[in-house]
C-alpha cells in the first residue's frame, strides 16, 4: 500500500521556502504545537515564532524556523503562509544568537520608556530564539 | 539659410540630451529587472493567501456570520481610492493612463442612475498622483511617500492600516486600489481593483493573478483549480470531500483567525499592487526613454545633413565670390 502523503508548501512574501510531498509536519500554532498527518481535518490556525519540522517521504527530516503567519490544512495539502521563514541549514547560528543578545540588551535599557518598542523587541527576541532553536534541532537530527 | 555655427550648437545640445535619455533607459532597464523579480516572488504568496481567504469566507458564510471586512455594504456613498503613481515624470503615459482610468470610472459611477452622490477620496502613493486634485478637483485624503525600491511588505502597512480603519469606522463604503498591471515589458494596463470589502466573487480578477505573459510565470488557474478541488463538489473529487469541506476548524477561533488574516491579505494585495505598479513604471520609463533616444538619433541625423548642406552652400558661395572677383580683375 502506498504511503499516505501531504502536499506541503511554505511561502513567504519574498519566496517559496519549501515545496515537497511529505508524510507529517509539526508546526507551532498560537494554541500550542500541533502535528499534522495525512487526512487531517481542515484547519486554519495562526502561527507563532518557532520551529517547523517536516518529515519527507523518505523519512528524512527538514527543519525550518518561522516568525509567524498562518497555516491552512486541507485534506491532502498543507499551506503555510509565513511572515518570514528559513531552512535550518540557511541560518547562521552565531549571528542569530548575537542578534538575540543584542535585542535583549536593548530591551533591558528601554524597559520603562517605550511600550511599542518594547513589544517590537520582545517579538524580535522570540523570532531569533526560534531561529537558534531550529538550528539546534537540525544539528541534533543530523548529529553534527 | 541659418549659419553653420547655430546648427552645430543644436546638434551638440541634442546629443547631450541623447546621452541623458540613454542613461535613463539603462537605469530603468536594470530597475525593471529587479522589480519584475520582486513581483514574481510575491505572486505565489499573494495567490495562496487569496485562495485561503476564499476558502475561509465560504466556510464562514455557511455559519451565517461574516467578518466585517468581508461583508458588503448596502449603500455606497463614499469610496476611498488608493492611487499608485510614480514619483517622477519622464515615463511616457504611465501616470496619465492610470489617472484617466480612475477619472473615467468615477464618472461612470456618476452616470449610473442616481448615484451621483458617490464621493471619492484619494489616498496617494507617489507624488505624481496629486494631479487628480489639480486637474479633476478630487479630494485627497492622504498622501504617503513612496520609495523607489520597494522590497518589504512593511512599507504598505501604514496605508493598509489606514484604509482598514477608515472602512471599519464607516468613512468609506468601499476601498479601491488603482494600479498599473504589469503584463510584459512592453505592455502595462491600468486597472482598478476592489480592496475592501474583500470580494469573494471577484476571485478571477484579483491582484495576484494577472496578464498572460509566460516570461513572468503566471498561474492563472491556481485559484479556480483550488476552488474546484476543495470547494465545489466536482465529479472528479471523491464523495468524502463533500462533507469535508465545510468543517473547518479554526484555532483559536474563527474570529481571531480572520481578524489576523484579512488585514494581512489586504496588505499583501496592496503590496502586490505596488510591486506591479513599480515594475510597470520602470518598463514604461524604459520604453519612453528608448523612444526619446531614437527620436534624438533621427534629429541628429537630420541636423547633420542640414549642417553639411549649409556648409557646402557657404563654401560654394565663397568660391563663386572669389572666382567672380578674379574674373572682374582680368
pLDDT at residue B289, as a whole number: 93
The CATH number of residue B173's host domain is 3.40.1380.10
Mean of pLDDT values over B125-132: 87
What is the tally of structural domains in chain A?
Answer: 2
Classify strands A77-82 and A6-11 as parallel, antiparallel or unpaired.
parallel
What are the Cα distances from residue B37, in Å, to A71, B151, B189?
A: 26, 10, 19
Helices (H) and strands (E) in chain B, counts: 7, 6
For residue B118, pLDDT over 60 is answered with: yes
| Complex ipTM value | 0.70
Q: Does B55 touch chain A (CB under 8 A)?
A: yes
Query: CA-to-CA distance for B82 and A11, rounded, in angstroms?
Result: 27
Domain boundaries, position A98: 92-142
- Quote the minimal CA–CA distance from B22 to chain A in Å: 32
Query: CA-to-CA distance for A69 and A49, rounded, in angstroms?
Result: 8
pLDDT at residue B146, as a whole number: 84
Question: Hey, of A13, A33, A75, A120, which one would you mutate to test binding to chain B, going by the most B CBs within 10 A of its CB?
Answer: A13
A138 and A105 in a common domain: yes
pLDDT at residue B1, as a whole number: 52
Q: Which of B181, B30, B194, B215 shows the shortest CA–CA distance to B94? A: B181
Q: Which of B45, B59, B260 sits opposite A12 (nearest CB)?
A: B45
Question: Hey, of B38, B42, B45, which one would you mutate to test binding to chain A, going by the most A CBs within 10 A of its CB?
Answer: B45
- Quote the minimal CA–CA distance from A132 to chain B in Å: 23
Q: Is residue B1 part of a domain?
A: no
Q: Is residue A1 part of a domain?
A: no
Of the listed ranges A14-28, A122-136, B94-108, B271-285, the least confidently predicted one is A122-136
Q: Which of A43, A116, A16, A93 shows the shortest CA–CA distance to B47? A: A16
What mean pLDDT is reported for chain B?
A: 78
Mean of pLDDT values over B84-113: 82
A126 and A114 in a common domain: yes
Which of residues A88, A110, A132 is at a domain's end?
A: A88
The per-residue pLDDT for range B23-33, each reduced to its tens digit, is: 999 999 999 89
Query: CA-to-CA distance for A44 and B43, rounded, in angstroms?
Result: 21
Contact in structure between B188 and B93 (CB atoms under 8 Å): no
Q: Does A42 touch chain B (CB under 8 A)?
A: yes
Q: Does A72 touch chain B (CB under 8 A)?
A: yes
A34 and A100 in a common domain: no
A63 and A17 in a common domain: yes
Q: Is residue A26 part of a domain?
A: yes
For residue B248, pLDDT over 80 is answered with: no
Of the listed ranges B42-46, B285-289, B326-330, the least confidently predicted one is B42-46
Mean of pLDDT values over B230-242: 42
The CATH number of residue A26's host domain is 2.60.15.10
Q: Does A18 touch chain B (CB under 8 A)?
A: no
Is this prediction's pTM over 0.80? no
Contact in structure between A73 and A44 (CB atoms under 8 Å): yes
For residue B319, pLDDT over 90 is answered with: yes
pLDDT at residue B64, as a whole number: 55
- A42 CB neighbours in chain B (<8 A) are 59, 244-245, 247-249
pLDDT at residue B201, as a whole number: 56
Angle between helices A115-142 and A93-109 (to 10 degrees): 160
Mean of pLDDT values over A48-76: 88
A62 and A14 in a common domain: yes
CB half-sphere exposure, B259, CA atoms < 13 A = 6
Residue B148: all three cell numbers together:
523607489
For residue B244, pLDDT over 70 is answered with: no
The per-residue pLDDT for range A79-113, each reduced to its tens digit, is: 898 888 888 888 777 777 788 788 877 777 776 66
What is the tally of structural domains in chain B?
Answer: 1
Amino acid at each position: 500500500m502506498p504511503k499516505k502523503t501531504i502536499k506541503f508548501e511554505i511561502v513567504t512574501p519574498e519566496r517559496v521556502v519549501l515545496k515537497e510531498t511529505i508524510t507529517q509536519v509539526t508546526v507551532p500554532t498560537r494554541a500550542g504545537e500541533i502535528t499534522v498527518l495525512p487526512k487531517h481535518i481542515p484547519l486554519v490556525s495562526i502561527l507563532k515564532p518557532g520551529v517547523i519540522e517536516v518529515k519527507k517521504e523518505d523519512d528524512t527530516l527538514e527543519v525550518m524556523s518561522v516568525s509567524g503567519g498562518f497555516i491552512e490544512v486541507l485534506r491532502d495539502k498543507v499551506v503555510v503562509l509565513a511572515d518570514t521563514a528559513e531552512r535550518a541549514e540557511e541560518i547562521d547560528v552565531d549571528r542569530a544568537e548575537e542578534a538575540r543578545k543584542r535585542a535583549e540588551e536593548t530591551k533591558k535599557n528601554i524597559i520603562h520608556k517605550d511600550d511599542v518598542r518594547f513589544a517590537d523587541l520582545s517579538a524580535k527576541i522570540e523570532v531569533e530564539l526560534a531561529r537558534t532553536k531550529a538550528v539546534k534541532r537540525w544539528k541534533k537530527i543530523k548529529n553534527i | 539659410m541659418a549659419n553653420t555655427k547655430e546648427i552645430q550648437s543644436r546638434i551638440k545640445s541634442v546629443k547631450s540630451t541623447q546621452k541623458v535619455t540613454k542613461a535613463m533607459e539603462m537605469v530603468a532597464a536594470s530597475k525593471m529587472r529587479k522589480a519584475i523579480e520582486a513581483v514574481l516572488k510575491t505572486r505565489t504568496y499573494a495567490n495562496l493567501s487569496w485562495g485561503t481567504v476564499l476558502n475561509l469566507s465560504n466556510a464562514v458564510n455557511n455559519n451565517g456570520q461574516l467578518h466585517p471586512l468581508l461583508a458588503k455594504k448596502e449603500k455606497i456613498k463614499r469610496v476611498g481610492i488608493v492611487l499608485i503613481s510614480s514619483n517622477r515624470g519622464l515615463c511616457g503615459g504611465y501616470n496619465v493612463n492610470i489617472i484617466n482610468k480612475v477619472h473615467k470610472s468615477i464618472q461612470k459611477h456618476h452616470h449610473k442612475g442616481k448615484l451621483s452622490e458617490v464621493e471619492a477620496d484619494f489616498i496617494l502613493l507617489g507624488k505624481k498622483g496629486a494631479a487628480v486634485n489639480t486637474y479633476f478637483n478630487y479630494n485627497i485624503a492622504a498622501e504617503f511617500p513612496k520609495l523607489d525600491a520597494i522590497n518589504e511588505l512593511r512599507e504598505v502597512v501604514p496605508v493598509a492600516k489606514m484604509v482598514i480603519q477608515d472602512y471599519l469606522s464607516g468613512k468609506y463604503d468601499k476601498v479601491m486600489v488603482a494600479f498599473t498591471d504589469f503584463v510584459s515589458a512592453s505592455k502595462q494596463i491600468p486597472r482598478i481593483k476592489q480592496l475592501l470589502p474583500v470580494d469573494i466573487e471577484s476571485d478571477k480578477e484579483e491582484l495576484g493573478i494577472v496578464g498572460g505573459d509566460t516570461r513572468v510565470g503566471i498561474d492563472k488557474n491556481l485559484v479556480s483549480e483550488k476552488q474546484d478541488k476543495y470547494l465545489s463538489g466536482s465529479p472528479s473529487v471523491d464523495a468524502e470531500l463533500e462533507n469535508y469541506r465545510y468543517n473547518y476548524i479554526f484555532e483559536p477561533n474563527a474570529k481571531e483567525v480572520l481578524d489576523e488574516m484579512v488585514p494581512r491579505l489586504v496588505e499583501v494585495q496592496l503590496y502586490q499592487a505596488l510591486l506591479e505598479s513599480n515594475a510597470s513604471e520602470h518598463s514604461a520609463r524604459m520604453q519612453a526613454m528608448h523612444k526619446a533616444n531614437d527620436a534624438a538619433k533621427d534629429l541628429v541625423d537630420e541636423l547633420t545633413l542640414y549642417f553639411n548642406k549649409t556648409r557646402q552652400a557657404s563654401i560654394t558661395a565663397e568660391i563663386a565670390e572669389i572666382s567672380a572677383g578674379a574674373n572682374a580683375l582680368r
